[in-house]
Amino acid sequence: MPSDASPELIRQQALAALTSELAKQGHPPHYAQHMAAAVIFQADLDLCAAQLARLLSWLKQNHAEIYPEAVQLVDATRDEFERRVQNG
């Protein structure tokens, strides 16, 4: 992949490649595309969680004075998100 490729182009290429691989494994193309999207979405969620965990760990180790406030912000964000989901 070219280093100047846009994130959207990279996502499209990843979706197409994974869809193709799943179809080669015998999944119907329509389902393969949905499965590929779900796999990519889950991988993105896992990456975000790993990034946040690493950032919090780094803060705790290198900036202990602001670590508690960062954890409170993360918790407040989760609470706000859960309220929005519950309220539709």
Per-residue pLDDT tens digits for 33-77: 999 999 999 999 999 999 999 999 999 999 999 999 999 999 999
Contact in structure between 10 and 1 (CB atoms under 8 Å): yes
pTM of the full structure: 0.75
pLDDT, tens digit, 9 for 90 and up, residues 7-32 = 889 989 999 999 999 999 999 999 99
Which of 62, 42, 36, 44 is CA-nearest to residue 7?
Answer: 44
Give the Cα separation of 31 and 28 in Å (integer): 5
Alpha carbons within 13 A on the beta-carbon side of 54 = 6
